[in-house]
């Protein structure tokens, strides 16, 4: 009960990295379909999810993001052949590093959204906002 | 000197000097070095003596490697039929009246070993019954879990031509799936479906098929799709093997640094939006080296490739490239070559010094995978630089 109250009071800041070809177009699709997307999410467009340097994610946390989402093309559908594979690999390794900092895996989610999946785009973002809301604010730079 | 004629599926023989096939261009005879007595140290020069034109037969000519600089490469090496020697239960071997679709095609041809007569090797007479085995290798196993697309058309064409040449023959089609799409396909199938002397038997997998030699011809034993065992007899058996990548495809792909798909064919860049482009810019694919396909599709691909090349390589015009590319800060590059390994376009190479990476802007697609991978941060992603992305992040998170 207390947790739920905290969840409603806390407005997480979520940063979403979208690739130009699939997930950014998926976001457009969600918009065209007038699906409601959580306003707590800020988006950054890159050409390919493979462009996402893990340092961007660390930097996002440092600048106050409570959670980060990487949305890529589905495996095998990458416009640049294998950028999403690189992104997925980097995210997995990053999760191990984040765990050492005490940052929960739910704060760094990777998922696949194609250009046609407006509904999935809205759903994934909503799930991330809910999950991060449950976790509460990220306080990695104030703990020690 | 006579050797097996590969063009006629080894069903007849040719000389050591020969025309590759009827209608070959240029229409000139060639000498098969492996068979020619002279090239093995002999003194034979019968071909030169027989030739009415002096000095037309040149024994001194050697194979040579010619190097050319080109603006585009078209890969059109085709596919090959699945080797039926790997399927001994189907009985294809030299001297048997069990033919692959290619060999039977040669048997039907005017320039073929029988001059177009459909006769069995065993009796020299036309067959009273023919069994055509569709889907040999196709639609089965991890390596061939696809339809080879041309075999049904091929098999029904055979049916049509056998019917013309041997009017009384009974023809059995054993198939896994019948695939005859397109505006002309069904008409061919319907004619054969409605023919009372053509029979259809559906079998689930090659495991249930066995071609056995009998005193008079062959028996094809099967268990049909509903589990009922049966047998048909035939004087001549035609196998329609799957179209598979050629044995040299892997070597060629490595040479060109283009990717292959999970089945071993050359991979197209995008299966809907870029079906004739390989994964490397400037290298194009046409025909069955990319996927099994019929002639119409292969022609379409070839024309599409020609169109792409002609519209991109215009004499005197500059090639347009995308502004979003990667760029190396050569001063700071340490030459670790991480970028070289991650680039899916082979757009990065070592510069003249061999110590620093260099991006070929023509080949670079601007994905930025190398930018994120560079441990020294010296790969710059034009229009999506680290500074720009970080500034954008600072803006939205403020």
For B46-62, what is each residue's pLDDT tens digit?
999 999 998 899 888 88
Last residue of a domain, one of B290, B319, B348: B319
CATH number at residue B182: 3.50.50.60
The pair of structure tokens assigned to A109 is 């989610």
> Is the domain of B120 the same as that of B226?
yes
> Is the domain of B204 the same as that of B240?
yes
What is the spatial distance between Cα B341 and Cα B352, in angstroms, rounded to a whole number?
Answer: 19
Last residue of a domain, one of B269, B301, B319: B319
Lowest mean pLDDT among A1-15, A89-103, B167-181, B303-317: A1-15
Question: Nearest-CA distance from B284 to chain A in Å?
Answer: 16
Check whether B290 has a pLDDT greater than 50: yes
Q: How far, in whole angstroms, is CA A111 from its chain's centroid?
A: 8
Local confidence band at A1 (pLDDT 50, 70, 90 cut-offs): very low
pLDDT value at residue A51 = 97
**E-only strand ranges, chain B:** 2-4, 13-15, 17-18, 30-31, 73-75, 79-81, 98-100, 129-136, 170-175, 198-202, 210-214, 217-223, 229-234, 236-241, 243-245, 283-285, 326-328, 348-350, 357-359, 379-381
Question: Nearest-CA distance from A4 to chain B in Å?
Answer: 25
Task: Choose between B78 and A139: higher pLDDT.
Answer: B78
What is the spatial distance between Cα B345 and Cα B161, in angstroms, rounded to a whole number?
Answer: 48
Residue of A nearest to B273 (CA): A79
Question: A48–B324: do the CB atoms touch at under 8 Å?
Answer: no
Local confidence band at A3 (pLDDT 50, 70, 90 cut-offs): low
Provide mean pLDDT across the span B296-320. 94
**Chain A from 105 to 144: CB within 8 A of any B CB:** none
Model confidence pLDDT, tens digit, residues B363-398: 899 999 999 999 999 999 999 999 999 999 999 998
Among A42, A65, A80, the residue with its CB nearest the CB of B369 is A80
Local confidence band at B355 (pLDDT 50, 70, 90 cut-offs): very high
Contacting residues for A82 by C-beta, under 8 A, at least 6 apart: A50, B344, B369
Check whether B71 has a pLDDT greater than 60: yes
pLDDT value at residue B143 = 80
Strands B217-223 and B229-234: antiparallel
Question: A51–B279: do the CB atoms touch at under 8 Å?
Answer: no
**Domain coverage including residue B365:** 326-397
Question: B393–A63: do the CB atoms touch at under 8 Å?
Answer: yes
Model confidence pLDDT, tens digit, residues B334-344: 999 999 999 98
Contacts of A52 in chain B (CB under 8 A): 372
Query: What are the helix and strand counts (H, E) for chain B?
Result: 9, 20
Local confidence band at A8 (pLDDT 50, 70, 90 cut-offs): low
Check whether A144 has a pLDDT greater than 80: no
Residue of B nearest to A85 (CA): B369
Among B342, B367, B393, the residue with its CB nearest the CB of A56 is B393
> Is the domain of B74 the same as that of B62?
no
Residue of A nearest to B274 (CA): A79
Among A47, A52, A59, the residue with its CB nearest the CB of B366 is A47
> Is the domain of B389 the same as that of B260?
no
pLDDT value at residue B273 = 86
Question: B389–A44: do the CB atoms touch at under 8 Å?
Answer: yes
Contacts of A53 in chain B (CB under 8 A): 371-372, 386
Question: B372–A90: do the CB atoms touch at under 8 Å?
Answer: yes
Model confidence pLDDT, tens digit, residues B130-189: 999 999 999 998 889 999 999 999 999 999 999 999 999 999 999 999 999 989 899 999
> Is the domain of B216 the same as that of B334?
no
Contacts of A90 in chain B (CB under 8 A): 372
- Percent of chain B scoring above 90 in pLDDT: 78
> Is the domain of B62 the same as that of B78?
no
Contacts of B382 in chain A (CB under 8 A): none
pLDDT value at residue A2 = 52
Lowest mean pLDDT among A30-39, A87-96, B253-262: B253-262
Question: A44–B396: do the CB atoms touch at under 8 Å?
Answer: yes
For residue A99, give Cα distances in angstroms to A54, A68, A87, A96.
14, 15, 18, 5
> Is the domain of B266 the same as that of B203?
yes
Provide ipTM, 2 decimals.
Answer: 0.91
Q: Please, what is the angle between helix A118-135 and helix A23-32, to 10°? A: 100
Question: A60–B394: do the CB atoms touch at under 8 Å?
Answer: no
Provide mean pLDDT across the span B92-98. 91
Residues of chain B in Cβ contact (below 8 Å) with chain A:
259, 269-270, 279, 324, 342, 344-345, 365-369, 371-373, 381, 384, 386, 389-390, 392-394, 396-398
For residues B42 and B62, the answer to whether their CB atoms sit within 8 Å is: no
Among A42, A54, A79, the residue with its CB nearest the CB of B396 is A42
Does residue A80 sit at the B interface (CB-CB below 8 Å)? yes
Contacts of A43 in chain B (CB under 8 A): 396
Among A51, A63, A90, the residue with its CB nearest the CB of B367 is A51
> Is the domain of B276 the same as that of B356?
no
- What average pLDDT is seen over chain B? 93
Check whether B121 has a pLDDT greater than 50: yes
pLDDT value at residue B321 = 84
For residues A43 and A36, the answer to whether their CB atoms sit within 8 Å is: no
pLDDT value at residue B361 = 92
Whose tokens are 């020609």? That residue is B306
pLDDT value at residue A5 = 54
> Is the domain of B57 the same as that of B75?
no
Local confidence band at B318 (pLDDT 50, 70, 90 cut-offs): confident
Contacting residues for B280 by C-beta, under 8 A, at least 6 apart: B256, B257, B258, B345, B346, B363
- Using left for φ > 0, alpha for ψ between -120 and 50, and beta otherwise, residue B134 falls in beta
Question: Nearest-CA distance from A80 to chain B in Å?
Answer: 6
For residues B149 and B296, the answer to whether their CB atoms sit within 8 Å is: no
Check whether A6 has a pLDDT greater than 60: no
Contacts of B375 in chain A (CB under 8 A): none
Q: How far, in whole angstroms, is CA B289 from its chain's centroid?
A: 4
> Is the domain of B179 the same as that of B257?
yes
**Residue ranges per structural domain of chain A:** 2-134
Our count of domains for chain B comes to 3
- The architecture in CATH of the region A2-134 reads 3-Layer(aba) Sandwich (3.40)
Question: Nearest-CA distance from A54 to chain B in Å?
Answer: 8
> Is the domain of B301 the same as that of B369?
no
Contacts of B371 in chain A (CB under 8 A): 51, 53
For residues A135 and A129, the answer to whether their CB atoms sit within 8 Å is: no
Cβ-count burial of B136 within 10 angstroms (0-12 exposed, 13-18 middle, 19+ buried)?
Answer: buried
Lowest mean pLDDT among B217-231, B286-300, B306-320: B306-320
Provide mean pLDDT across the span A85-111. 96
Check whether B117 has a pLDDT greater than 70: yes
Last residue of a domain, one of B319, B349, B374: B319
Check whether A7 has a pLDDT greater than 70: no
Local confidence band at B87 (pLDDT 50, 70, 90 cut-offs): very high
What is the spatial distance between Cα A48 and Cα A71, in angstroms, rounded to a whole number?
Answer: 10
């Amino acid at each position: 009960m207390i947790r739920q109250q905290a969840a409603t009071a806390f407005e997480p800041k979520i940063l979403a990295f979208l690739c130009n070809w699939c997930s950014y177009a998926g976001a457009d699709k969600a918009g065209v379909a007038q699906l409601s997307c959580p306003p707590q999410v800020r988006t950054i467009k890159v050409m390919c999810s493979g462009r996402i340097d893990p340092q961007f994610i660390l930097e996002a946390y440092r600048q106050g993001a409570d959670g980060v989402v990487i949305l890529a093309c589905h495996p095998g559908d990458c416009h640049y052949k294998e950028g999403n594979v690189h992104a997925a690999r980097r995210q997995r390794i990053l999760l191990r590093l984040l765990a050492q900092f005490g940052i929960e895996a739910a704060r760094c989610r990777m998922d696949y959204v194609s250009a046609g999946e407006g509904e999935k785009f809205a759903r994934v973002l909503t799930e991330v906002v809910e999950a991060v809301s449950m976790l509460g604010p990220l306080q990695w730079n104030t703990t020690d | 000197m006579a050797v097996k004629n590969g063009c006629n599926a080894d069903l007849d023989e040719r000389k050591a000097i020969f025309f590759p096939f009827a209608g070959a261009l240029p229409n000139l005879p060639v000498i098969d070095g492996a068979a020619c007595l002279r090239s093995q140290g002999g003194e034979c020069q019968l071909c030169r003596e027989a030739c009415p034109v002096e000095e037309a037969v040149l024994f001194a000519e050697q194979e040579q490697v010619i190097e050319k600089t080109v603006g585009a490469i078209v890969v059109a090496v085709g596919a090959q039929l699945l080797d039926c020697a790997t399927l001994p239960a189907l009985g294809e071997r030299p001297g048997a009246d069990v033919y692959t679709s290619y060999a039977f095609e040669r048997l039907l041809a005017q320039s073929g070993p029988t001059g177009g007569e459909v006769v069995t090797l065993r009796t020299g007479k036309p067959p009273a019954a023919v069994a055509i085995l569709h889907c040999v290798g196709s639609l089965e196993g991890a390596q061939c879990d696809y339809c080879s697309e041309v075999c049904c058309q091929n098999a029904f064409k055979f049916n049509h031509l056998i019917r013309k040449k041997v009017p009384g023959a009974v023809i059995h089609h054993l198939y896994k799936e019948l695939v005859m799409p397109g505006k002309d396909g069904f008409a061919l199938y319907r004619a054969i479906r409605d023919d009372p002397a053509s029979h259809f038997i559906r079998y689930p997998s090659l495991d249930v098929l066995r071609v056995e030699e009998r005193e008079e011809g062959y028996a094809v034993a099967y268990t049909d799709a509903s589990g009922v065992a049966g047998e048909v007899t035939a004087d001549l058996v035609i196998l329609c093997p799957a179209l598979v990548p050629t044995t040299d495809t892997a070597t060629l792909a490595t040479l060109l640094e283009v990717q292959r798909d999970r089945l071993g064919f050359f991979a197209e860049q995008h299966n809907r939006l870029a079906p004739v482009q390989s994964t490397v810019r400037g290298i194009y694919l046409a025909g069955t080296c990319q996927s099994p396909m019929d002639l119409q599709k292969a022609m379409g691909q070839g024309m599409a490739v020609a169109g792409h090349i002609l519209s991109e390589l215009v004499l005197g015009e500059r090639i347009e490239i995308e502004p979003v590319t990667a760029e190396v800060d050569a001063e700071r590059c340490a030459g670790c070559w991480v970028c070289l390994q991650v680039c899916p376009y082979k757009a990065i190479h070592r510069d003249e010094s061999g110590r620093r990476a260099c991006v070929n802007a023509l080949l670079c697609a601007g994905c930025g995978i190398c930018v994120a991978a560079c441990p020294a941060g010296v790969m710059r992603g034009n229009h999506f630089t680290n500074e720009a992305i970080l500034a954008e992040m600072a803006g939205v998170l403020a």
